Amino acid sequence: MKITIDPALCRSRARCYNLYTDLFREGTDGKGEVIITEDFEDEDLVVDATSAANACPVGAIILEY
């Protein structure tokens, strides 16, 4: 799985980096920033990434399988 955030959609609602600190952090502009930018297969991280994408109120978290 690979995670990206669409900066044009992100509204700095902070859910991703407050809830899933293993995958996201707050960027200098207050928007979400992906920590793990390369592909990963770890099942726990895949579950967290899926939950984060579902939790983002503006659909800015994009998952590639």
The site for ligand SF4 (CB under 6 A) is made up of 5, 10-16, 31-32, 56, 58, 60-61
Burial status of residue 29 (CB atoms within 10 A of its CB: 0-12, 13-18, 19 or more): exposed
**Least Å from the CB of residue 48 to ligand SF4:** 13
The least CB distance from residue 43 to ligand SF4, in Å, is 22
Smaller CB distance to ligand SF4: residue 27 or 46?
27
Q: Residue 63 in 3-state DSSP?
A: strand
State the minimum distance, in angstroms, from the CB of residue 45 to ligand SF4.
Answer: 16
Neighbours of 59 (CB within 10 A): 11
Is 30 strand, coil or helix? coil
